[in-house]
Structure 1
Amino acid sequence: MSSLLSPAPRRETLGANVLFQIKELLLTGQLLPGEQLSLRSTAEALGVSVMPVREAVYQLVADQALEVAPNRSVRVPLMSAGQFQEITQIRLQIEGYAVEQAAQHSPPELIAALRRLNDQLSLAMEAAGENKAAVVLLNKELHFLVYAAAGMPMLVKMIESLWLKIGPVLNYDLRAGSERTRKKIAVEHHARMIAALERGDARLAREALHSDIESAFKHILAKQFSS
């Protein structure tokens, strides 16, 4: 995990940067369910003392994005199929609302930026090798660029909170290079959503987002939670 972190730039407060980097690992599924987070190793990777790492980690514990195990180690929580389904249902409502609002605030430069990201996502899905970290990062960047366009910062924070909880399983198919990735299913849904945003069609934009979320949900439920 420490190889995914980079030293904190001094122009930012250490605490804010440490929190940001650990959040990114969770949001993009680079930390797996049940994986332990070493405070000392994380501090060394970031080039900071253990104190700001401890503060960031325990803030995430309070947000239920991380948990303290019985042996006092800090780890990514495991998620049941029921919890995954519940969070997905909440995401459909909240993220769907954000997309509807974004449809009213989608200038040409936003549409162009979204199309660039989706094109980059498509190319990343074609890249050789099993490491699909770029796919996961681009997918997250595209989604949150849309949500930010809603112009509702508190709504974006709510969405981030959901992604922090679900991130370790949310990107299962993207990270693993599944059939959905090879067929670029997410790229197709994104293209439909972007086209609807360009036309200011809130209903179709929401439907495209729902298709994206639901197709990933069904795939992950079958692959990760089937017994």
Structure 2
Amino acid sequence: MPAKPPVTKRRRPQHDDGAPERPRRRGELQDRVVDELRRGLMIGAFVPGQTISLRRLADDLGTSSMPVREAINQLVAANALEMLPNRTVCVPHMTPARFEELSRVRQALEGMAAEMACQRATHELVKRLERINGELQRAIRERNIVQCLAKNQEFHFTLYEAANSEVLLPLIEPLWLMAGPIMYFSLISPDMPWDASAHNDVLDALKARDPAAARRAIERDIRSTATYLLKSSVFRSTSGPLAGLRAGADPRR
């Protein structure tokens, strides 16, 4: 069964007087669909090798198949999705060598972004990251896998956006599109510790105005997860365990 991205079907929005709003323009609708699919890939709502159903995605997103098809074509062009000779669309398979290289590049770029963000950190940024990390820790306690993945991505990108770099973020996002689909497996094994200790270290570094410590914390976060996954058997078993999973569900129940 193809995966469903972490979205809910939308009713047509209405004004306060009950009248329906004007339909979204085609460009606006396609942008929303692309954003939803990109987010789904980055947080691990799809896994390597999983086929993508255009019709199912259109139903989940509450739209027609046209904007979904156009969004998928964009993601195929970005190497985030793969179109097979029979026109089936799937999430690209991940090899250990490719994942290891992605992780090394992520450490370099995301470590730099964390360092730059620390140099510009404000009290408001720290409070926002603390709130997100608190929500992540609550999701960990509740074993809410989808929420864990979503809050982890939100923490990282809130931090990186604070770097205010026109160069780094456009480089980091495609790495998450490629690496995100494997990240689900970092949360379903009892051997992988579920904690946010590296995030706590990031927060401590921001409060101390220590850019080098912020870089080290992010590098450790990426490296520790990659090390575990490379030692595990996930690259032989990525068959789509998140298929059909709605936000808040735990597939192990």
Of 66, 69, 74, the match for 2:81: 66
Decide whether aligned partners of structure 1 residues 80 and 173 sit closer, same or farther in structure 2, where only a CA change above 3 A counts.
Answer: same
Contact 1:106 1:197 in 2 (8 A): yes
In the alignment, what sits opposite 1:5?
A: 7
Deviation at 1:218, TM superposition (A): 0.7
Contact 1:91 1:159 in 2 (8 A): yes
Deviation at 1:139, TM superposition (A): 0.5
In the alignment, what sits opposite 1:136?
A: 149
Unaligned runs of 5+ in 2: 14-22, 238-253
In the alignment, what sits opposite 1:196?
A: 205
In the alignment, what sits opposite 2:158?
A: 145
Note if 1:36 corresponds to 2:38: no
In the alignment, what sits opposite 2:192?
A: 180
Q: Please give the per-residue CA displacement for 1:77-108, whole angstroms capped at 9, x wherever unaligned.
A: 00110100111111011101101110111101
- The structure whose RCO (Cα within 8 Å, separation 6+) is larger is 2
Dislocated runs of 4+, deviation >6 Å? none
TM-score normalized with structure 2 length: 0.82
One-letter identity of the residue aligned with 2:134: D
Larger Rg: 2
TM-score normalized with structure 1 length: 0.90
Q: What's the Cα RMSD here?
A: 1.9
In the alignment, what sits opposite 2:41?
A: 26
- Fraction of identical pairs, as percent: 37
In the alignment, what sits opposite 1:155?
A: 168
Q: Please give the per-residue CA displacement for 1:46-75, whole angstroms capped at 9, x wherever unaligned.
A: 222211111110110010000012321000
More helix by share: 1
One-letter identity of the residue aligned with 1:90: V
In the alignment, what sits opposite 1:75?
A: 90
How many residue pairs get aligned? The number is: 221
Q: Please give the per-residue CA displacement for 1:108-150, whole angstroms capped at 9, x wherever unaligned.
A: 111111112112211211115xx51111111110000000000
Whole-angstrom CA distance in 2 between matches of 1:156 and 1:200: 22
Unaligned runs of 5+ in 1: none
